[in-house]
Each structure stands twice: as C-alpha cells, then as structure tokens.
Amino acid sequence: MRHVLAIAIAALCATLPAHADTAAYMAQQLARYQKYAQAPVERFPMVSLWQWQVVGKEKVVVWTGIETAYLVTVEKSCVNLDWARGIGITQNTSMHVDAKFDSIVFDHQNCRIAQIQPLDYKALRRDEKAAKAGE
C-alpha cells in the first residue's frame, strides 16, 4: 500500500513541472501573437476550423485558412482551456463567428467569446523568416 502511495505521489510531482513549462511556452506564444494582433472586430468568416492553438487560460489562436488567423479571448468563467485537447467553435450566424454570441466549446463547456483580434499572420511569418535568414 505504501509503495502504491509513493508511486502516486511521485507521478503527481512529475507532472507539476510540466504544467509550468506549458504555461511558460503558452506565455511565449501569446507574446509572439500579440505583437501582430490588430484592433478587435465583432466577427470573422469561418467555413471550417483549420487549426487552433491555446496560448493562455483565456486565449486561443484559431486559423480559418493557411494564412488567416485570429486571437480569440474567452470570458474568464472558462475553466482549464489551457488543458483542452480539442475545441469547437459555435456559429450562431451562418458561416461567421461573432464575439459576445459564439463560444469556444471543449470538455462540455461553452466559453463565450469576449474578443476577436485578427492577426497579421503574413507579417508574422515574413518577420520570422527574415530573423532566421539573419542568423
């Protein structure tokens, strides 16, 4: 019994630094994207969710195409978004996602979208490519 308890405690301790690393990585990614975030908009067109990346407890970057991305902030009532393994996005208006009306959906939660900021993703990629060329 003590052996099982010791293993459980060791496993718990092993996972704690992983969350800190994840939080640090998400903060780094959030700073990367915020540099290219534009003024908030009320909505964006979306036929399908092409890709997504959680970059904070209330922030997700969603791609609707290869070079079209948005920084989406959800209301603070959302719990454990930073641990989501998959997300969906509601669309109350045909083929559009609206701030204040639509939600990020995961793990049986509907996290209402508070803000949408288009990202200048082409500029981000251009700047990162230039930085690599300069190394």
Residue 115 reports pLDDT greater than 90:
yes
Residue 135 reports pLDDT greater than 80:
no
pLDDT at 6: 36
Compute the distance between CA of residue 71 and CA of residue 32 in angstroms, rounded to an integer. Answer: 11
Distances (CA, A) of 93 to 48, 61, 98: 14, 20, 8
Question: What does the pLDDT look like over 77-91, one tens digit per residue?
Answer: 889 998 899 999 999
Query: Could you tell me the pTM of the whole model?
Result: 0.82
Residue 20 reports pLDDT greater than 70:
no
